[in-house]
Every structure is written in structure tokens, then in C-alpha cells.
Structure 1
Amino acid sequence: MNMKMGGKAECPQSGGAGNNDSSISLRNPFKLPEEDIFLLRNKQNKKKRQELEHQKELKVHQKSTYLGKIQDKRVEFRQALKRWENEADSKTANTSLRSGPSWRKAAIQEQNDKEKICDYMSKKKDMFLLEYSLAVKQEENDKSSVQAIKIAEQETKARLEKIADIKKITGKIVAVKSDISKYEDILREYTNYKEFLLKLSPPEWQEKQQWRREMAEKIHQQQQTAAKGVQGPSVTTASKRKDSNARELPPVVDPKSHRKGAMPTIKESKTKELPSPIIEADLSEYEDPQLFFTDPHQLLDLLTELEKQNLNLIQNSQDTEESLEEFRITMLNTRKKMEQETEQLAQQVEILSCAIERVKENKAELELKARLFSFGEYKADHQDRMLESLGKKVGEVYHLCVGETEANLTTLQMLTSIESRIEELLEAMELVPRERLLMVERVREKERRSRQREEMVCQQKKQQEERLRKALERAQADIKKPMGRKLMPRSQPPMQENLEYEVDESADLEMDKHQYFFT
């Protein structure tokens, strides 16, 4: 029983040792792993990632569900248990074989066999040498592990120092970049100031500076040609050197030394290589920056003068804007006045056109009356009487329309005053609302038609009475007997054509209106 328990207790270790590389889950959980726990965790994570990648590459029908994975784990666990049981059975079989009488007999017989002392000593020596070599190897392994740990610590320390140096260098680079950006901002600001001062300088001085720049460029070109002639065949090597150095990073420059001007400029390096001091003097003479303003008060005076000019221009612009605003207001007012005047003139034109039409109608009436009077049907006495009656009628109309006057006016003067009065009334009538005017016209038209109807009825009665009277007279008259020869018909003499003039109904309507409104 004890042998079986011992065999079963040793099985997990032997099984775990046998499958050390196959899977981590089969190891003995009571034994600490020989390798680092972090490496073990990394291996587990790596294995999980590989399984995930493998699952991603599989097709849909090849993938397994969560339940399938659990069943697979159960199957693996059962297989491991079976292997462990088989190993335990094999160990129990070995122990049972050893516990048998035949094995004991063979062991006792082997112990009873006599060995030689030399063989025993040689075996002991070999065992000692093996143990010594194992101890030496173990000591060497310990020393190498300690040395490896020291080297690893030194490497980590060096690595940390390198990281700190890199951080310092990056900090310096950031500081240099910030200084460069700051200096670039300052340079842009100074260039703006330079452009501003150049624009403020007179044009003659600007032309002179342009000429100086052109001369400096020419001298610079001469220097380049001279440098090329001096260098000769070394140009190719310099170009190769330049190509090889182009890929290298420039050295880190201290911002303090850069501020103090320790770094030489490109122009200084070029001027140092020039052979002739005359060209250097000329180049320095033409390349030296110059300003038109030698004293700050000159710039202040110029700025004050420009400010005054700007103020004057602003004042002039404000004055022009005010004058333009006044002109716009006057233009709007004049436009409104002109529109009102045009409307009034249009109304006056309409009134005058209406008056002209009325005058034309009066002219037609007067022509008709003149023709009637000048036709010869009336005699002079009859015309005089008619003129007197017309004068009386005109006087009555004048008294009714205008009023009483002390002066003795002729008929024509009264007619002109009546016409002027009529024109005034017509103008006033035009101001009357059209709806009211139409209503009054309808009323007057209705009254006129009723009056015409009454007059027609009276005229028909008179004609009927006249016919009755004539019939009665014919009935009461004596009968005349014809005497002599019977009258024979003869040709009728040509009858005189009586001129008939059409009476203008519109004139009658207008007269009725005048009688209604002015009587």
C-alpha cells in the first residue's frame, strides 16, 4: 500500500518532467518553475496570441465554439490522467517485481559475489571524479551566472545612462529648436523693421542700395570663380567629401555660444578662403548694411510728419464723405421735388388737355351757331333781337354763376368770366372723389331721362290735341264743290334741300350738368 502511494505521488513529477516543453499545464503545481515568472507569462501571452491568430486564419466550419473548447480541454485532461495512471501502473509493476522472491534472490546473489579491490577502487575513483567534475561545473555555472548578472546589471546601468544622456540631448535639442524658433521670430521682426525703414527712406537712397547689392553680387561671383581656379582638381574630392558629409547630422550647438557669435557665418568662412585682400575689402565695403536714418530723431520726425499727413488725409476723407452725404441728401430731395413737379405737371397737362377738348367742343358749337346765323334764314332785326335775348340770358347766367357786379360788362366779357368760373369749377370737380362723381352723374342722368319722358308725353298730348282740332275744323267746314275742269297732275317742282344739323347729345348732357351744378 505504501509503495503504491509513493508511486502515485512521484508520478506528477516524472510526468511533468517528461512533458516539460509540451505544455505548462501538466507540470507539478507544487514545484516552482526553474525559469523566470515573467518569461513564463510572456510565453503564455505569446501562446495565446498565436492561438488567436490561428483562430483568425481558420475558416468558419473549422472554428470551434466555447463549449467545444471546454470539451477539448476535458479530453486533454482525461488523456493526461490516463498517461499518469499508465505510468503509475508501470511503477507499481516494477515495485511488485522487485518485491518478488526471484529478484531478491538475484540481488543477494549479486551482493555475495566477490569483487576485486582494484575494480572497486577504480569505480570509486571514477565516481569521485564524476562528482568532482559535477561540483566544478556547478561552481563554474554559479560563477558564470553571477558574472552574467553583473554584466546584465552593468548593461542595464549603461542603458539607463544612455537613456539619461539621450533625454539630456533631446532636452538640449528642444532648447536649441526653441532658441532657433525664437531667433527666427526675431529675425522676421527685424526684417520687417528693415523693410519698413527701407520703405521710409527716399527713392534715391534705395536706388543706391540696390546698386550696392548688385556690386556685392558681382564681387561674390568673382570670388567664387577665383576660388574654383585655386582649388583645381580638389573640386572632385571636395564634392565627394560633401556628399559623404551631407548624410551626417550637424553637431549640437550651445545656444549661449550661438548668442555670443562663436559660430562663424557662411560669408565669413568664404571670405577667409579668398586669396586677395582687395576683393575682401571691396566685398566688406559693399556688403556692410547701411541705414538712411543715422539718428532716431530723424525717424521720429518722419513718423510725426507722416502721422500729420495721415490725419490730414483722414480729415479730407471725412470732409469728402460729409459733402458726399450732403450731396446725396440734396440729390434725393431734388429728385423727390422733381418727381412731385413732374406729377403736378402731368396733372396740369391732363387738365389742359381736358380744357383743350372742351374748348374744341365749344368751338364746334360756336361754328355751328355761326353757320346758323350766317346762313341767311334770319334777318338783321331778328338777329339783333336774338343777340339781345342772348345777352340777357348770358347776364342772368353771369349773375347766377359769378354774382352781382357794379361795372357794366359786355356779353363777351361775361362769357369769358363764366368760362373762367366754369374752368375753376371743373378743376374743383376733378378733386372730387370719382365714386361720388359717378353717383351724381347717375342721379342727373336719371332726372334728365325722366324730364325728357315728361316732355315727350306733353308733346304727344299737344300733337294729339292739334290733330283733333284740325279734324274738328275739317268736319265743321263747308263742303266745296269743284268748279271748272278737273285738275290734272303735273310734275312736281324741285324741292329745296333743307340742311339738317345733328344735335350733339353730349353738349346737351354737358349743358344739363352745368344747369344742375351752377343753378
Structure 2
Amino acid sequence: MSRVPAVVPDRSTNPFHISGDVDFFLLRDQERNKAHLEREQKKTMHVHEKVTYSSKVSAKHRSLRRELQLEDEAEERKVCAETEQLRAFRDNTIWKLAITKEKRMESDNINSYVDQKRQMFLIQYALEMKRNEIQRLEMLAAKEEAKLELAEKSLEKDAALFDEFLRENDRSSVQALRAAEKETKAKIEKIFEFRDLTTQIMNIKSEISKFEDTLQHYKIYKDFLYKLSPKEWFDEQEKKRLALKKAKEVANTPKESSVPSTSGDKVPLLRRSSSGILLEEDPDSDSEELELYFTEPQQLLDVFTKLEEQNLSLIQNTQEMEETLEELSFTLKNTQNRMDREVNQLKQWITTMMMSIAKEEETAAELELKARVFYFGEYQGAQQDKLLESLNCKVLDVYRHCIGTQQDTNLGTVQMLTIIEHQLDELLESLERVPPAKIDQAEKAKEKERRMRLREEKAMLQKQLQEERLQRARARAHAEIKKKKGRKLVCRSRPPVLRTKEESEHMFMDKEKEEQLFFFT
């Protein structure tokens, strides 16, 4: 901090002035820095090293008092020393000479003397003021100490009262805790009692439900026993009940005649038993239940054995009926499948027969037309007979190959054809039962044989053609050579070859031959 220059007072106006060496602002700054350092030191101090405000104030008063006492003692010592020196100088002759010399001095020495006296007065005045201030401060310190003592006493009283309050509070808290513990214990006991009662109630309810279930079961058993009891027993019980009722009516008639009835006539009520029998009940009398027919368990066992025998017979009958029903359903399914298959086969045969009939009719019409065209007006019976005989021989040959017997050789051509057709149908039916793998294998074998046969026939034809070609070449070689004379003739273009029906018939015959070779060899 920058130092503030000292204020120099005007001595002409005020005889009392402050020395220029003393800087009050510097002292203030020093005090402030000192207080700041003390605060920083207190921050780092421990708790046991710190002091309270009251102890701090008392320590300040004591230190101030001690400093003032030390200053007073030092000043008294100085004054005593000065007085002793003055006495010594007065006694000394040298002092006298000095005094006399001073009288002879000039006015400057007088001024300096006055100044010294003035300074002495000021010092004495300052001492008096300091003493008064010290006394005032001592009085203030005494008052503050008295106040502190009163405050300490009041604090002690407050502490005692606070301790008493704490004791009372502890007593009340202990009593409250005891009361709370008692209440909690009572509450827990009540909760346990409530739980025990609830468990007892639940047990009783469960027992009641069990008893109700058993009662329902017993009622069901009772109804079942009533149903098993015979009707004769019900009739006897009805007769007994009616007899008892009549006896009661006879016994109650004199009483009813003596006492007039205030209410109207009471109509007897009817109830139907579980077995279907109507029973009368009086509205006043309690409903009396019938006694059980079964008094011993052997009776029930006998009834159960009878019912069991009946059930066994019924079960056997039902099983037999189920077996027969299954057999019938199986046979029905088989017959239905067979009939469906036969119907489909018949439908296919009908379609094939219709197609073959249509083809045969077409061929018959064509043949008839051809016969009319080519053989109109001519009748060649011998050729037709030969044709019929050849057809009969072929059919007979096929019949022998298909049937494989020499019997019934006197049959006609049509009859043999019908037998062959029936045999073909049977073979087709048996062919459907044969597994397809075997059929494929047989077809492959037949196809292989047919190809081998065709290959052999083709080889034979080629061989015949080769031989014919060789013969023609030999004939050409042995023939005479004819030289052509004249101009060479130009050949005309050949006309297109007309395809006649004979070729188609020839092709048709070739197909028939192939089919005969495939199916009948």
C-alpha cells in the first residue's frame, strides 16, 4: 500500500500538535494487516487452540491493562531519574555556574527554555490525559467484567434449565418409547389373535364346505338307491303311509270337532319322489322321508351283479354289432370299388365297341359299295366260300392258340370269336391286377422280340433283293449286246404316280400283320 504523507499542523493557531513522525494511516493499515494475518492463522489452527470471543476480550483487556501499567512504571522511573539528576545538579556548583551563565544568555536561549517548558507541560498534560483514559478504561473494564459475570451466571442458569429440560425430555421420550412398545406389543398380539381367528374361520368354512360336499354326495347316493329300489316296495310304502294318515285323521277328528277351526280348509300337498311316484304331504306336518329299501350291502351287491351281467351282455352285443358293421362296411367298400371299376371298364368297352361298330359299319358299307360296283350282276359263290373257309381256318387257329384246347372244334366262327373275346376280357382283368413293373418288363421283352423279328425279316428281304439284283446283273452280262441305230430318243417327263386304294389296303394289311405278329406270337 502507498504510504500517506503525514499531516503537519499549523503551530501558530494550535499550541498542541502531533509529531510529524507518527503516521496514523500507517498504523491503521498495520492493524488491518495484523487482523488479516490472525484470521488466516485461525483458519489453520485446531479446535482446542482457538478461543471464544469473551476470553479474547478479557485477554485484550488484561494485555491493555498490563501495557498501561508497564508504561506508567517506565514513566515513573524516568521522572524519578530526572528528579534525582536535577537534585544532583542543584547541589553541584557546576549547576549553579551553568544557571548563572544561562541568565547571561541572550533571548534565543530564553525562547528555547520556554519551548522546553512548553514541551514538559505538554508531556505532563498527555500523561494526565492518559491516566484519566486509563481510569476510564479500567472502569469500563470493571463494568464489562460485571456484565460478563452476570452473563456467565445467566448462562449457567440457562444451562441448568436446559439440562433440566433435556432431562425432562429424556424422561418423556423414555415414557413415550415405553408406551409405544406397549402399544406395539398389544397391536402385535391383536394381529396374531386376528390371524388365529381368521384361520379358525377359514378352517370352519372349509369343514362346512366339505360337509356340504359330503351331504351332496350322500343325497346323490340316496337318490341312486331310491332309483334302484323296486316299484313294489314303493307301493307298499305308499300303502303304509296312507294307512298312517287315515289313523291320524281318525284320531284327530274329535279334537277338531271340539275346537272350531279359525283358518280355512288346508289342502294336502303332493310331491313327486325321485322314482316318479306322487306322495301327499300335509302342510303342517314335517315332510317324512322314506326309509331305504336296502338294509344290507349284500342286496346292493346282488343288484350290481345283475346290472353288470346285463351290461356285459349289452357290451358283447354291441361289440358283435360293431364287428358285423365293420365287416359290412368293408364288404360294401370293396363291392362299391369293384362295381365302380367294372362300370368304368364297361363304359370303356362300350365306347370301344361303339367305335369298332362304327368302323365296321363304315368298312361294311365300303365293301358293299365295292361289291356292288365291281361285282354287279355277277355272283361268285365259290370264291366267297373259299374266303369264308380261310377266315374260319384263321379264327380256328387263333382259337386254338388262345384257348389251347382241342375240344369244341365244331363251333362256328362267331361262337369262337365270342369265346376269344371273353378270354380277352378275362386276360385284361387279370392284367389290371398284375403289378405295372411286370407289365412294363413283359412289354419291353415283346418289343425286343418284335424288333429282332423285324430286323431278321428286313435282313431276309435285303438278302432276297441282293440275290435278285445279282441275277439281273448276270442276265445282263450273258445277254447279247444290241447296238442302237439312228437318233437317240428323248425321254418324256414321267407323269405323276397316282396313288390307288390298293396301296392303302396293302398298308392296312401290313399293320394287321404286325399286330397279329405282336399279339399272337
TM-score range for the pair, normalised by the shorter chain length? 0.3 to 0.5
Which structure would you say has the larger Rg?
2
Query: TM-score scaled to structure 2, two decimals?
Result: 0.38
Which has the higher relative contact order, 1 or 2, with Cα contacts under 8 A spaced 6 or more apart?
Answer: 1
